[in-house]
Amino acid sequence: MARPGHRRHGWRVRLRHLYEAPAPEAKRFRYALLGLDALSLGWIVAASFLGPTGPALAVDVVLGLVLLGEYGLRLAASGKPVRAALHPLNLADLLAILSLLLAPLLHGALAFLRVLRTLRLVHSVRLLTSLRSDLPFFRRNEEAALAAAQLCVFLFIMSGLVFELQHRTNPGIRNFADALYFTVTTLTTTGFGDVTLPGTLGRLLSVVIMLAGVTLFLRLAQALFRPVKVRFPCPSCGLSRHEPDAVHCKACGTLLNIPDEGAG
């Protein structure tokens, strides 16, 4: 008969398999997690149109419980759950989940915490990188895809921040779509001027959006227009980026054997 300690260890091994293994069932599990993240982000946008109604708050709590269950499974799959829980991204994820669970109590200043739920996007980007073997387009354009994903993360987080800070007092920010519109026009320095953020805090937030947005746009443009290279560590010198058809490492001349899917 298996001892309790062995059973607990077996559960942890199975969970780690689901989160990390390349097996088909593990990949299906991670795709389901991506779907859950997409659902939670879609709810962020929809909830901004509905307002804090009873049914909307109930959905917040139910979604928070589902995400809390996944969070617990993720920690259990880790070899060191306490250390994993203290990781900044996992702490941010926990705060995002708590903002959903405490939705009925989030009034006034506490409503600011609701913006943290957009940090689930960071979790989605990490999942995508673990599934690169299934996504040829992502694998071929990984750097550009990650730059675009990071730009989307920034857009959603800043739009959520603008919405939570402004929708109670600013008639131009009535829902998440208005906040996203302001963020994009500010980030691209288009600045139509039909929506503005008044006060010192609003101006400072606009400055942050412009400065950070320009940096992310430049990184995306660099990734898109720089000659495409593949990631393959040279066994001798460690150079990790090479031309797709490279036969020798341009740094040390070592013979390379870069995997090639072939043409069509």
159: amino acid identity, one letter: S
Residue 262 per-residue DSSP state: -
Asked if residue 84 lies in contact with residue 75, where contact means CB atoms within 8 angstroms, the answer is: yes
66: amino acid identity, one letter: V
Q: Per-residue pLDDT tens for 26-50?
A: 888 888 888 888 888 788 788 888 8
Which residues, listed in sequence order, are joined to residue 230 by a DSSP beta bridge?
A: 242
Reduced to 3 states (helix: H, G, I; strand: E, B; else coil), residue 106 is coil
Q: Is the pLDDT of residue 14 over 50?
A: yes
192: amino acid identity, one letter: F
Q: Is the full-model pTM beyond 0.75?
A: no
Asked if residue 193 lies in contact with residue 213, where contact means CB atoms within 8 angstroms, the answer is: no
Q: Is the pLDDT of residue 69 over 90?
A: yes
Which pair of structure tokens corresponds to residue 51? 């307002």
Residue 130 burial (CB < 10 Å; 0-12/13-18/19+)?
middle
Mean local confidence (pLDDT), 37-65: 84
Reduced to 3 states (helix: H, G, I; strand: E, B; else coil), residue 78 is coil
At residue 80 the predicted structure's pLDDT band, cuts being 50, 70 and 90, is confident
- CA–CA gap between residue 261 and residue 22 (Å, rounded): 18
Mean local confidence (pLDDT), 252-262: 78
Residue 49 burial (CB < 10 Å; 0-12/13-18/19+)?
exposed
Q: Is the pLDDT of residue 65 over 90?
A: yes
pLDDT in the model for residue 171: 92
pLDDT in the model for residue 183: 92
pLDDT in the model for residue 219: 80
Q: Per-residue pLDDT tens for 81-134?
A: 889 888 887 888 888 788 888 888 765 444 555 556 566 666 666 666 666 667
- CA–CA gap between residue 196 and residue 117 (Å, rounded): 24
- CA–CA gap between residue 51 and residue 103 (Å, rounded): 12
**In the chain, domain spans:** 1-140
Asked if residue 114 lies in contact with residue 160, where contact means CB atoms within 8 angstroms, the answer is: yes
Q: Per-residue pLDDT tens for 148-189?
A: 877 887 888 888 889 888 888 899 999 889 999 999 999 888
Please state which of the ranges 1-5, 47-51, 138-142 shows the lowest mean pLDDT.
Answer: 1-5
Furthest C-alpha separation in the chain: 72
Burial 65-97 (b: 16+ CB within 10 A, else e): eebbebbeebbbbbeeeeeebeeeebebbbebb
Which ranges constitute the DSSP H helices of the chain? 4-20, 24-50, 54-77, 81-85, 88-101, 120-130, 136-140, 142-166, 176-187, 199-225
pLDDT in the model for residue 62: 92
pLDDT in the model for residue 264: 41
- CA–CA gap between residue 188 and residue 239 (Å, rounded): 35
Q: Per-residue pLDDT tens for 207-248?
A: 988 888 888 878 887 777 765 677 788 888 888 877 777 888
Distances (CA, A) of 203 to 74, 198, 200: 39, 7, 5
Q: Is the pLDDT of residue 2 over 50?
A: no
